[in-house]
């Protein structure tokens, strides 16, 4: 699937999501968006048209072939992706999507009371899982798995349940490979159970490894 300027399209989700509690409060996570943005940069270098659906981050990236779509919540991220997924040759799910959201969003700022307060949470849409259900044979999808235990087993479960072509396993054993750092240590796993382990590298270098692996899957599909 190509754009009018004949460039292949990649859809990337990046950054955290924010799940509103009331107009001034939200639940979120520490994702910096650095990995997703680095992947966007690497795809731009390879001549792709990049659609970057991004949660709130402190990074700015601009390029004539880049469209950044800023979103807050997981629901907004999912809706924004729906328009582009069908035309994307490759989709990279790099966002740290909040797994839960408050069951109700208060329309007015909640007031402090004399009592304790608890929040009921409901499950968010699993964006990668939903698109996995409608992915075509000519599309490539890549997900991430950040694990603390049973790493490979958990990553493989995600690879198959979300119908991904590749899963990028992030080990949090190494502090320099977690949120906010400029470095990352990954293993890329494909559906043939092949594990490609990389040393600790800059996120820009890791991005090139991920992009190269994703493009390779696409080329195999074409054969
Ligand atoms: N993902 C997503 N939508 C969600 C949750 C996750 O698109 N609501 C994507 C992430 O972008 C990532 C992959 O799914 O590419 C795995 O995310 P992760 O949080 O590791 O897995 P979960 O399925 O949410 O399971 P858990 O958090 O319990 O490990
Ligand atoms: Ca999760």
Between CA 111 and CA 81 the distance in angstroms is 35
pLDDT greater than 90 at residue 17: yes
Point out the ligand 1 atom lying closest to the alpha carbon of residue 167: 15
Q: Best mutation site among 144, 147, 151 for ligand 1, i.e. most ligand atoms within 8 A of its Cβ?
A: 144
Between CA 179 and CA 177 the distance in angstroms is 7
Residues facing residue 146 across a β-bridge? 170
Residues facing residue 52 across a β-bridge? 12, 68
- Residue 95 token pair: 């966002």
- Residue that wins the pLDDT comparison between 180 and 61: 61
Between CA 59 and CA 37 the distance in angstroms is 8
pLDDT greater than 60 at residue 26: yes
CA 21 and chain centroid, separation: 23
Q: Which helix (H) or strand (E) holds 213?
A: helix 203-222
pLDDT greater than 60 at residue 3: no
Match domain 9-103+121-222 to its CATH number in 3.40.800.20, 3.40.50.10300, 3.30.830.10, 3.90.78.10: 3.40.50.10300
ipTM passes above 0.95: yes
Average pLDDT over residues 59-82: 98
| DSSP-derived secondary structure for 9-65 | EEEEEESB--EEEETTEEE-----SHHHHHHHHHHHHTT-EEEEEE-S-S-----TT
Highest mean pLDDT among 137-141, 145-149, 167-171, 177-181: 137-141
Q: What is the pLDDT of residues 171-201, one digit of tens each?
A: 777 666 666 678 889 999 999 999 999 999 9
Report every protein residue that has its C-beta within 5 angstroms of ion ligand 2: 99
Domain range summary for the chain, segments of one domain joined by +: 9-103+121-222
Q: What is the pLDDT of residues 73-109, one digit of tens each?
A: 999 999 999 999 999 999 999 999 999 999 999 999 9
Between CA 77 and CA 55 the distance in angstroms is 8
Average pLDDT over residues 110-132: 96
Query: Can you give the pLDDT at residue 6?
Result: 83
| DSSP-derived secondary structure for 118-132 | ---EEEPP-HHHHHH
């Amino acid at each position: 699937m190509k754009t009018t300027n004949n460039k292949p399209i990649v859809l990337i989700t990046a950054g955290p999501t924010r799940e509103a509690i009331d107009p001034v409060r939200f639940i979120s996570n520490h994702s910096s968006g650095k990995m997703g943005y680095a992947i966007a940069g690497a795809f731009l270098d390879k001549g792709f048209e990049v659609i970057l659906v991004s949660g709130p981050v402190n990074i700015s990236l601009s390029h004539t072939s880049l469209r950044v779509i800023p979103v807050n919540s997981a629901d907004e991220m999912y809706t924004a992706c729906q328009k582009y997924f069908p035309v994307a040759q490759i989709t990279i799910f790099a966002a740290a999507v909040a797994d839960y959201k408050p069951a109700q969003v208060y329309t007015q700022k909640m007031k402090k009371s004399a009592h304790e307060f608890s929040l009921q949470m409901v499950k968010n849409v699993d964006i990668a899982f939903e698109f996995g259900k409608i992915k075509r044979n000519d599309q490539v999808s890549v997900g991430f798995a950040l694990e603390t235990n049973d790493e490979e087993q958990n990553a493989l479960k995600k690879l198959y349940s979300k119908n991904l072509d590749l899963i990028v396993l992030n080990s949090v054993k190494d502090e320099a490979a977690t949120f906010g750092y400029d470095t990352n240590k990954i293993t890329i796993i494909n559906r043939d159970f092949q594990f490609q382990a990389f040393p600790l590298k800059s996120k820009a270098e890791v991005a090139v490894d991920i992009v190269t692996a994703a493009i390779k899957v696409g080329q195999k599909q074409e054969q």
